[in-house]
Amino acid sequence: MRVTTAAARASFWNEWLSNRLPPETGARVSGVVERDDTLVIFAESAAWSARLRFAVQELEREMLAAARGIRSVVVRVRPRD
C-alpha cells in the first residue's frame, strides 16, 4: 500500500471511529492502520485497550461492511508519542 493511500485510510478510520465511539473512548485511540486484511486499532494504554475492545466488538460488523478487504479487527496498545 502506498504511503498516501495508507494515510488516507488512517484518516478515514479515525473519522469513522470518532463518529461512533463514545467521546472518552475515541479520544484514547492512538492510531489506526490496515495491515493486509486486518484493521488494527491502537489504544494509548492497556486499560483503554480493554475498553476499546469492548466498544469495537459492538461495531465490528459495521466496520467490516465499511471497507472491502477487511476481514478482522484487532486492538493493540501503542502509547502516544
- pLDDT in 10s for each residue of the chain, 81 residues: 566 788 999 999 999 999 999 999 999 999 999 999 999 999 999 999 999 999 999 999 999 999 989 999 999 999 987
> Residue 2 has what pLDDT?
63
Compute, in degrees rounded to 10, the torsion defined by CA atoms 32, 36, 38, 39: 20
Domain tally, the chain: 1
pLDDT of residue 1: 53
Q: What CATH number did the domain enclosing 30 receive? A: 3.30.300
Instruction: Note the pLDDT of residue 9.
Output: 92
The pLDDT value recorded for residue 4 is 78
Output the pLDDT for position 17. 97
Q: Which amino acid is residue 24, in one-letter code? A: E
- CA–CA separation, 63 and 32 (whole Å): 13
Q: Which domain holds residue 27?
A: 3-77
Cα separation of 37 and 68, whole Å? 9
> Per residue in 15-32, is it b (16+ CB within 10 Å) or e — as a string?
ebbeebbeeebeebbbbb
